[in-house]
Amino acid sequence: MQVQLLVTRTDFSTANLDQEFRDLGVSYELLYIEDHPDLVAAHGIQHSPCILVNGRLAFREQPTENQLREYFSRLGQ
């Protein structure tokens, strides 16, 4: 499973999301929106943070740890 966290360089949620992913044992790749205009255009991203899972936009906002837990449990993670 490929998980990508897309954030702006000034997004204050990054540390919190990092902790939530670590708590859940989910590996992810950190991508800065400024460096990936192709992903921004392809997914209609207008703000940060966004989370892609297997190339699909899963969250357009900062999810809670419980929302992440539910999402990944449905995927069998």
- Domain ranges for the chain: 3-74
- Which segments within 25-67 are labelled E, that is strand? 29-32, 50-53, 56-59
Per-residue pLDDT of the chain (77 residues; tens, 9 = 90+): 999 999 999 999 999 999 999 999 999 999 999 999 999 999 999 999 999 999 999 999 999 999 999 999 998 75
First vs last C-alpha separation in the chain: 9
Q: What is the pLDDT of residue 77?
A: 55
Q: What is the pLDDT of residue 50?
A: 97
As a CATH number, domain 3-74 is 3.40.30.10
User: How far is 72 from 17, CA to CA, in rounded Å?
Assistant: 14
User: Hunting for tokens 């192709």 — which residue is that?
Assistant: 38
